[in-house]
Amino acid sequence: MTAGGHGGADELDFWSFIRLAQHRLAEEHGFGDRLATELLLTLNRASGIVTYDLEAAVHRPRGRSWSGFRLLFVVWLAGPLEAKKAAELTGMSRAAVSGLAKTLVGQGLLDRTPGERDGRSVLLSLTERGRREMLETFQAQHRREQEWAGVLTEAEQRILIMLLDKLITNRDQFDVRGRH
Amino acid sequence: MTAGGHGGADELDFWSFIRLAQHRLAEEHGFGDRLATELLLTLNRASGIVTYDLEAAVHRPRGRSWSGFRLLFVVWLAGPLEAKKAAELTGMSRAAVSGLAKTLVGQGLLDRTPGERDGRSVLLSLTERGRREMLETFQAQHRREQEWAGVLTEAEQRILIMLLDKLITNRDQFDVRGRH
DNA sequence: GATAGTTGATTAAGACTTTTACTAGTTTGG
DNA sequence: CCAAACTAGTAAAAGTCTTAATCAACTATC
C-alpha cells in the first residue's frame, strides 16, 4: 500500500475520519485508549456545528455576532453586571468584554455606567432598545434551539446535560487552564 | 426590590447563572420549555472550557495554535489530503485552511504539492518534521484528554458520545447552516 | 498617611476566521 | 469543439479573539 493510500480520501466524512483516526492511532502509533480522543473530538464538533448554525440562522441576519449575543444575553438576564462578572459568565476574557461592550454601546444596545462601590469598575446594562431586541432575538434563537434539541427525547437531553456538567465540574481534580 | 437587585450578582457563577436565567426566562418572559436552552448553553460552555484548556496546556506552550493543530491532525491521520477535504474534516472554511496552510508550510510542518488529477487542487501532507512533532504533541494532548475524560466512567463516555452523535446526525430534519 | 501590591478596565499587536471577490482549471451541453 | 457553468484555491477587508502592557483605583501595611 502506497503512502496515504487507504482507498482514497474522497468518501471521508467526519465520522469515517474518526474511525480511520482511531485505527491509525492504534495500529501505527500504538495509542491504547482512544475513547477520550473520540469524546473530545465529538464534543467540539457538536458544539461547533450548533454554534455556527445559530449564528448563521439567527444572529448574522440581524447584524449581530455570536459573541455580541452572548454578552447581551448575560446582561439581559443577570441584570446590571460589572464587566468582570460578565466576562466570567460568558467565558470571555475581560479584554474581549471591554471591546465588545464598546461596539454594543455604540449601537445603542448597552449602557455603561461607572460602578458605585468601586471607582474602577463599570456596570453594563441593557438600554430599552437592547431589551426589546433581546426579547425578539432570543425568541428566534429559542425556536431554533428547540429544533436542535428536539432530535433527543427529554430524558436524553437531561442525561446529556448531566454528563456535560459532570465533565466540567469535576475538573478541579487537575490543574485546568482558564482565561485571565 | 430595586432594578437588577436579586441578591447581588457577586456570588453568580456559570451554574447559578443558568438557574437565574431559567427563572427569569420563565417568570418574566413567559418562555415555557427551557431545557433546550440549558442543553446548548452547557454544550458550548463545556466545549469552550475543554478546548481552551487543551490549547493553553498543550499547544500554545509549543508555539502552536488550536486551529493549526486541528489541521495538522487530520492531515497526519488521513494522509495527503486536498485542501477542500481538510476543510470538511476540520470543520473550517476553505479560506481558513488556505491561510493556515500557508503559515504551517512556512514553519516547515506541511508540504503543499499540486494535485495530480485536478490541476486546481492542492495536496497537503506532513513533512518529516511535521510527523515527528505531531507524534510528540498528540502524546501530550492524549494524556490531557484522558485526564478530562477520566472523570466519567467508560460507560458514561460512551453514552455521551452517542448522545452528541445523535444530536448532530439527525439534523437533516431541518435546514442547518454549514460553512461554505 | 505614604507606599507597595493588587485588581478593573482599556489599549495595542498579532493570530485567526469569516464573507466576498477573483483567478484559473474542469465539466457539461449545444 | 467551444462557451457557459461550476469548482478549488487564494486574497482582501472586516471583525473577533488572544496576550501583554498600561493606567487608574483600591487595599493593606509600615
pLDDT tens sequence across B32-76: 888 999 999 999 989 998 998 898 888 888 888 899 999 999 999
Q: Which nucleotide is nearest to A48 (CA to C1')?
A: C17
Q: Would you place residue B138 in the very low, low, confident or very high pLDDT band (cuts 50, 70, 90)?
A: very high
Q: How far apart are CA B33 and CA B25, in angstroms?
A: 10
Average pLDDT score over chain B? 86
Most confident of B30-39, B91-100, B111-120, B148-157: B148-157
Asked whether the beta carbons of residue B156 and residue A166 sit closer than 8 angstroms, the reply is yes
First to last CA, chain A: 49
B49 contact A CB<8A: yes
The cell for B15 is: 451554574
CB A111 within 8 A of CB A125: yes
- Give percent above pLDDT 70 in chain B: 92
Order of strands across the sheet that contains B81-82 = B81-82, B122-126, B110-114
CB-closest option in B12, B135, B154 to A29: B135
pLDDT at B171: 67
Q: How far apart are CA A15 and CA B142, in angstroms?
A: 19
Residue A93 has φ and ψ, to the nearest 5°, of -80, 160
Q: How far apart are CA B49 and CA A113, in angstroms?
A: 30
**Average pLDDT of the residues in B155-167:** 96
CATH 3.40.50.11540 at B15-170, yes or no: no
pLDDT at B5: 37
Residue of B16, B25, B43, B76 to mutate for A, most A C-beta atoms under 10 A: B43
How many Å apart are B106 CA and C22 C1'?
Answer: 24
Q: How far apart are CA A18 and CA B74, in angstroms?
A: 10
Rounded to a whole number, what is the distance in Å from the CA of B47 to chain A's nearest CA? 5
Q: How far apart are CA A64 and CA A137, in angstroms?
A: 10
- Give percent above pLDDT 70 in chain A: 91
Does strand D come within 7 Å of the CB of A68? yes
Average pLDDT score over chain A? 86
CB B83 within 8 A of CB B94: yes
Which A residues 156-175 touch B at CB under 8 Å? 156-161, 163-168, 170-171, 173-174
Q: Which nucleotide is nearest to B96 (CA to C1')?
A: C17
The cell for B54 is: 487543551
Which tops the pLDDT comparison, A170 or A69?
A69
B128 contact A CB<8A: no
Asked whether the beta carbons of residue B21 and residue A164 sit closer than 8 angstroms, the reply is no
Long-range Cβ pairs for the range B58-62 (8 Å, 24+):
B58/B137, B58/B140, B58/B141, B58/B144, B59/B137, B59/B141, B62/B133, B62/B137, B62/B140
Q: Could you tell me how far CA A110 lies from the centroid of its own chain?
A: 21
- Give percent above pLDDT 90 in chain B: 50
CB A87 within 8 A of CB A96: yes
Q: For residue range A73-94, what is the model confidence (pLDDT) as tens digits?
A: 999 998 788 888 888 889 888 8
Asked whether the beta carbons of residue B160 and residue A164 sit closer than 8 angstroms, the reply is yes
Instruction: Locate the domains of chain A by residue range.
Output: 15-170
- Distances in Å between the Cα of B141 and the Cα atoms of A170, B20, B44, B73 are 19, 35, 20, 11
**Average pLDDT of the residues in A129-144:** 91
Does strand D come within 7 Å of the CB of B125? no
From the CA atom positions of chain B, what is the Rg in Å? 21
DSSP β-bridge partners for residue B123: B82, B113
CA-CA-CA-CA dihedral for A7, A9, A13, A16, to nearest 10? 40
Query: Does the pLDDT value for residue B10 go beyond 90?
Result: no
Helix (H) or strand (E) holding B12: none
How many Å apart are B119 CA and D5 C1'?
Answer: 18
Asked whether the beta carbons of residue A36 and residue B89 sit closer than 8 angstroms, the reply is no
Residue of A84, A121, A152, A169 to mutate for B, most B C-beta atoms under 10 A: A152
CB-closest option in B25, B88, B164 to A43: B164
Q: How far apart are CA A126 and CA B24, in angstroms?
A: 15
Does strand D come within 7 Å of the CB of A67? yes
The type of residue at B71 is L
How many Å apart are A66 CA and C9 C1'?
Answer: 23
pLDDT at B6: 40
Long-range Cβ pairs for the range A64-68 (8 Å, 24+):
A64/A137, A67/A92, A67/A96, A67/A100, A68/A100, A68/A103, A68/A104
Residue of A19, A35, A138 to mutate for B, most B C-beta atoms under 10 A: A35
Bridge-based pairing state of the strands B110-114 and B122-126: antiparallel
Question: Could you give the residue ranges of the DSSP H alpha helices within chain A?
Answer: 14-27, 35-54, 66-77, 83-90, 94-106, 128-149, 154-169
